[in-house]
Structure 1
Amino acid sequence: MKSFLKSLYINQRFFTAFFSIVVVFILSYFYINLFEIAKLLLTIISISTVFDGILLYGKKNPIKANRILPEKLSNGDHNTIEIHLQNTYPFKNQIKVLDELPIQFQERNFELKTTLNAGKEKKLTYTVRPTERGNFTFGRLNIYSKSPIGLLSRKQVFCDQHSVPNYPSFLQLKKYDFLAFSKKLSLYGLKKIRRIGHTLEFEQIKEYVSGDDIRNINWKATAKKGELMVNQYQDEKSQPVYSVIDIGRVMKMPFNQLSLLDYAINATLVISNIALKKQDKAGMFTFSRKVENIVVAQRRKSQMNLILETLYNITTDFSESDFSRLYIDIKRSITQRSLLLLYTNFETMDALHRQLPYLQAIAKNHLLVVVFFENTELSDLLPQSATTTKQIFEKTIAEKFIYEKKMIVNELKKHGIHTILTPPEELTVNTINKYLEIKARGLL
């Protein structure tokens, strides 16, 4: 009996009908002829309610439902959740689905409504966009079914609590994995860069055939062999590419619900995958007060999975990052000249000047690319007209900070350090473009 009462819900239609009958009873006090009509209406509603209950509870498990969750969620992306429904009632059913979403979404009134014909099945889908890494626990799946009479609803509960890990954006990884090798790069913001000059990695000496570059003729080998021989070169491979992520307090700043750290993590996952596809070695590490979460640059099959699992657990420690410690650890641990993509953020020239000597020291032995971020909220202030003193002040400050970012870029370039100044949402595309440019120009 208790379970029956827990699953029984009275709909708005019942209360509307009952309220109408009460009104007729009140009016019958003044118009006696309405009393019989009110009693008749009450009888009809009572019989209809009982009949509605019989229809809804005539079967043990009339509605079958199942929620299909992905093995893992992709951070910052729209992830699809599926709900499969089956109606075993002999009549058309109106169904309301209340799915208990993870607490991180702070969604209290999420529901889906649909109608399902007798004996039919249907698939409902919806998307969720997580903005922080970690475990997301989905609660119960509550199904409310309603007969054509519509006075009562029956509740059924499916699916126990289930936790799904939210990983860095592997959906971006799949997207850019294809685009980096696509012929239609410009449609997605990626640049097709013409390769300059020859690669430096010698492969073999072979006989000349029509179409070979005559500039590669090896005259010594030609004299010994008695026929034209040419040097054959191949693209330089297995060059170390490290993503260096600052996990200090400057990377906690949020844009579009994602922190700068999460943007950097997503970009690291994508660029590591592309580097491996380009036959380079991919690695990563983080730093703040010390260097940690180290993945040594390799080309093994399990490298991407190792990088993904390492990125999943990264969090900021809210401290001031120690670039001197970063320089010492790089000098001690990375002996081969490597491409270092340093994800950090500088807001002022003073902040840059404090770290510039260490960046210069790193750039002497490695190809250093400093990646930092535009403040898009400040950029949005510039087109707006300023009429009040407060607005003029805010716009002036915004222009000052934007100009200072450009000065930081020029200062780094002056010392031979490559830079990427990018809006957070364009970080992945701009990082890929820079990597492809470096490969094309043979800078590493």
Structure 2
Amino acid sequence: MKRLFKHTYLTFRFFIIAIAFVVLFILAYLYPGLLEIASLLFFVAVGLVLIDLILLFKQKGISASRILPEKLSNGDDNPIEITLQNNYNFKTDLLLIDEMPFQYQKRDFEIKTQLNKHDKKKITYTLRPLERGEYYFGNLNVYVNSPIGLVTRRFQFAKDAMVPNYPSFLQLRKYMLLAFSNKLFEYGLKKIRRIGHTMEFEQIKDYVTGDDIRNINWKATAKRNQLMVNQFQDERSQPIYSVIDKGRAMKMPFEGLSLLDYAINATLVISNVALKKQDKAGMFTFSRKVENKVVAERRPSQMNKILETLYNVNTDFSESDFSRLYIDIKRSLTQRGLLLLYTNFETLDALHRQLPYLQAIAKNHLLVVIFFENTELHKLTNLEAHNTFDIFQKTIAEKFMYEKKLIVNELQKHGIQSILTAPEHLTINTINKYLEIKARGLI
């Protein structure tokens, strides 16, 4: 009996009929001839409620399960699958309420569907997580109505499931093959023209039309009595470090995802691309001090190590100390390598405060400073101005956008490469820059 009351709910149709009976009995008080009809209809309604309860509780009812991925991909649409099985001998109306993790703060999520007798159905919906960490799912509640529709029975399944939310491994799979085959231009990026010569010798081969005559090996030519040329390949085993600023400048959100998480997702992808290109991949973060350090290596387990480290990156978004960063790089990174520094500068003054440290780092390493466009400013400058206040807002927005371009010029003037990118294009632009640097033989 306790189970009956705990899982039984009255429907909207039940209350409509109840109100109709109240009105009917009031009318029967005024017109006594209606009392007999009202009493008969009342007992019929009570009988229908009892029949509805018997139909819903006599049989096994509904079977359901929630199929969760092993881990969620941060910032991506992750599919959640629900399977339903109708064990009743009649068609049912179902209302699904999945208790989602508290990070979503979503209390009105529901799915309505129907199942024919002994029918089975799969329902899929997507979740887009925006914070790394553990996501706890509650009960999967299924509310069932019979064709009578006066009473609802509740079923509960899949209690207390936890799924970790990792940096975007779906994005990693998306760009891995594209980067490895240099097909990123299909996504709207320019093709990269190879410039100069790399330094890693591969073999001596016969000269064919089209080979660079500057690579002719005259000693081998004299021995074989035919033209021979040296063949080179891309330099490999170069250390590639992703350096992530986790200070307050990286707290700004775009489309719900912070700049820090955009940088973390890009770091995962570029590390995998570097390993596929036979380079060593590593990373570390900094704010008040350098943390989460993974030494650049080419071990098979390197990607798992980087993934777990990125998953556990935590910060209070304090002020970043670039002098501490320079000292740590000076002490620990003795071999010249490529440093991809993810940070953000909103003004030229902010850059000038850190520029001496960036110049010092760039003396011993190839430094690429990656910072972000404010896409909200783009939207503001494209709006039509209707009054003086709108003109004032557009002018300020254009000033900040122009200052970002000045930052790029200032870095270039001091021999530091940079990427100014919208957050959503960060991964593509970073991969393209890495491929360009490799093609030009800069490391």
TM range, normalised to the smaller chain? over 0.9
Q: Distance in 2 between matches of 1:298 and 1:223?
A: 42
Q: Distance in 1 between matches of 2:311 and 2:224?
A: 58
- When structure 1 is superposed on structure 2, of 397-406 and 96-105 the one drifting more is 397-406
Which AA in structure 2 matches 1:7? H
Identity of aligned residues (%): 70
| Secondary structure of 1:3 counterpart | helix
Structure 1 residue 437: deviation in Å? 1.5
Which AA in structure 1 matches 2:40? L
- Matches for 1:185-196 after TM superposition, within 5 Å: 185-196=184-195
Q: Decide whether the 8 Å contact of 2:81 with 2:124 is kept in 1.
A: yes
Q: Decide whether the 8 Å contact of 1:242 with 1:285 is kept in 2.
A: yes
1:103 matched to 2:106? The reply is no
- Correspondence for 2:31: 31
Which AA in structure 2 matches 1:37? I
1:277 matched to 2:269? The reply is no
Structure 1 residue 11: deviation in Å? 0.8
Structure 1 residue 225: deviation in Å? 4.4
- Matches for 1:215-294 after TM superposition, within 5 Å: 215-294=214-293
Q: Decide whether the 8 Å contact of 2:373 with 2:423 is kept in 1.
A: yes
Structure 1 residue 224: deviation in Å? 3.4
Q: Distance in 2 between matches of 1:318 and 1:206?
A: 56
Structure 1 residue 213: deviation in Å? 5.0
Q: Decide whether the 8 Å contact of 2:184 with 2:432 is kept in 1.
A: no
Q: Distance in 1 between matches of 2:5 and 2:39?
A: 27
Q: Distance in 2 between matches of 1:188 and 1:41?
A: 69
Q: Distance in 1 between matches of 2:116 and 2:418?
A: 60
Structure 1 residue 237: deviation in Å? 1.2
- Correspondence for 2:49: 49
Structure 1 residue 102: deviation in Å? 0.4
1:204 matched to 2:210? The reply is no
Which AA in structure 2 matches 1:340? L
Which AA in structure 1 matches 2:343? T
- Matches for 1:45-444 after TM superposition, within 5 Å: 45-59=45-59, 61-181=60-180, 185-207=184-206, 214-444=213-443
Which AA in structure 2 matches 1:46? V
Alignment CA distance shift 1:53-1:343 (3 Å):
same
Which AA in structure 1 matches 2:436? E
- Correspondence for 2:20: 20
Alignment CA distance shift 1:41-1:28 (3 Å):
same
Structure 1 residue 389: deviation in Å? 3.9
Q: Distance in 2 between matches of 1:332 and 1:226?
A: 52
Structure 1 residue 334: deviation in Å? 1.3
| Secondary structure of 1:144 counterpart | strand
Q: Distance in 2 between matches of 1:39 and 1:299?
A: 84
Structure 1 residue 170: deviation in Å? 0.7
Which AA in structure 2 matches 1:200? M
| Secondary structure of 1:33 counterpart | helix
Q: Distance in 1 between matches of 2:343 and 2:183?
A: 31
| Secondary structure of 1:137 counterpart | strand
Structure 1 residue 378: deviation in Å? 1.8
Q: Decide whether the 8 Å contact of 1:251 with 1:316 is kept in 2.
A: no
Structure 1 residue 18: deviation in Å? 1.5
Q: Distance in 2 between matches of 1:193 and 1:351?
A: 32
Structure 1 residue 325: deviation in Å? 1.4
Which AA in structure 2 matches 1:28? A
Which AA in structure 1 matches 2:39? K
Structure 1 residue 183: deviation in Å? 6.9
- Deviation string 1:374-398 (CA, Å, 9 cap, x unpaired) is 1111221112233344333322222
Q: Decide whether the 8 Å contact of 2:95 with 2:142 is kept in 1.
A: yes
Which AA in structure 1 matches 2:83? H
Structure 1 residue 212: deviation in Å? 5.5
Which AA in structure 1 matches 2:287? S
Alignment CA distance shift 1:227-1:178 (3 Å):
closer
Which AA in structure 2 matches 1:379? H
Q: Distance in 1 between matches of 2:262 and 2:53?
A: 53
TM-score (norm 2): 0.96
Q: Distance in 2 between matches of 1:51 and 1:187?
A: 63
- Correspondence for 1:4: 4
Which AA in structure 2 matches 1:441? R
Alignment CA distance shift 1:302-1:390 (3 Å):
same
Which AA in structure 2 matches 1:91? F
| Secondary structure of 1:130 counterpart | coil
Which AA in structure 2 matches 1:284? M
Q: Distance in 1 between matches of 2:197 and 2:404?
A: 35
Alignment CA distance shift 1:151-1:244 (3 Å):
same
Which AA in structure 2 matches 1:235? D
- Deviation string 1:14-53 (CA, Å, 9 cap, x unpaired) is 1111111221222223333332322222122111110011
| Secondary structure of 2:360 counterpart | helix
Structure 1 residue 214: deviation in Å? 4.8
| Secondary structure of 1:194 counterpart | coil
Q: Decide whether the 8 Å contact of 1:249 with 1:316 is kept in 2.
A: no
Q: Distance in 2 between matches of 1:267 and 1:3?
A: 51
Structure 1 residue 103: deviation in Å? 0.3
Q: Distance in 1 between matches of 2:211 and 2:402?
A: 50
- Deviation string 1:32-85 (CA, Å, 9 cap, x unpaired) is 3332322222122111110011100112x3211111011100111111101111
Structure 1 residue 294: deviation in Å? 0.8
* Contiguous gaps of at least 5 residues in structure 1: none
Structure 1 residue 400: deviation in Å? 1.8
Q: Distance in 1 between matches of 2:114 and 2:214?
A: 73
Q: Decide whether the 8 Å contact of 1:102 with 1:139 is kept in 2.
A: yes
Structure 1 residue 315: deviation in Å? 2.1
- Deviation string 1:242-285 (CA, Å, 9 cap, x unpaired) is 11000111111111111110010011111111111122111111
- Deviation string 1:103-148 (CA, Å, 9 cap, x unpaired) is 0000111111111111111111111111000000001111111111
